[in-house]
């Protein structure tokens, strides 16, 4: 004789599991976000990462943070940097960036900057900086392991 099975869903408990910042889903999201954060920092170079080794101060690498939040759909994990130049490093500039154009001065005849050794450099235009998509490359580490 077949047995009858009844399921009673506890809506409050399901809501806690799925939407609470202290629930198990949030803890798993945070763990995955920290994994992406670590990989993104490695991708910026200066350590054992595979990214280009063009680190001046390490400020961008140190600024990459993980933030757990909520929106209308539920829990949200954000990994990134709030530094104004982080998008330029990620997407590139000049001919390597989204506009695919050389960089020219807006008000002067020449671009001017000083090197780390203190020498002045003058250029009519520059090609820009190649992209280092450190966050995009780190995203696969969000997936579960094993």
User: What does the pLDDT read at residue 72?
Assistant: 85
pLDDT in tens, 60-104: 999 999 999 988 888 999 999 999 999 999 999 999 999 999 999
User: What does the pLDDT read at residue 80?
Assistant: 96
Whether residue 78 contacts residue 111, with contact meaning beta carbons closer than 8 Å, is answered with: no
Residue count of the chain, please give it: 146
Angstrom distances, CA of residue 86 to CA of 18, 82, 94, 111, 116: 32, 7, 15, 22, 20
Report the share of the chain in percent with pLDDT over 90. 68
Span 100-116, mean pLDDT?
95
The Cα–Cα gap between 144 and 146 comes to 7
* CA dihedral of residues 87, 88, 90, 96 (deg, nearest 10): 140
Measure CA of the first residue to CA of the last residue in the chain; give whole Å. 41
Whole-model pTM over 0.85:
no
Does 30 score more than 80 pLDDT? Answer: yes
Whether residue 82 contacts residue 63, with contact meaning beta carbons closer than 8 Å, is answered with: yes
């Amino acid at each position: 004789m077949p047995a009858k099975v009844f399921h009673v869903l506890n809506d409050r408990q399901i809501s806690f599991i799925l939407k609470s910042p202290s629930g198990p889903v949030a803890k798993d999201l945070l763990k995955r976000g920290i994994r992406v954060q670590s990989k993104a920092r490695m991708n910026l170079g200066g350590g054992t990462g595979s990214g280009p080794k063009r680190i001046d101060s390490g400020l961008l690498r140190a600024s990459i943070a993980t933030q757990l939040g909520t929106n209308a759909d539920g829990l949200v994990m954000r990994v990134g940097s709030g530094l104004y130049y982080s998008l330029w490093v990620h997407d590139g500039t000049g001919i390597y960036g989204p506009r695919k154009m050389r960089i020219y001065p807006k008000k002067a005849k020449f671009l001017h900057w000083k090197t780390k050794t203190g020498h002045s450099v003058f250029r009519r235009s520059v090609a820009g900086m190649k992209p280092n998509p450190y966050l995009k490359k780190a995203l696969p580490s969000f997936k579960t392991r094993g």
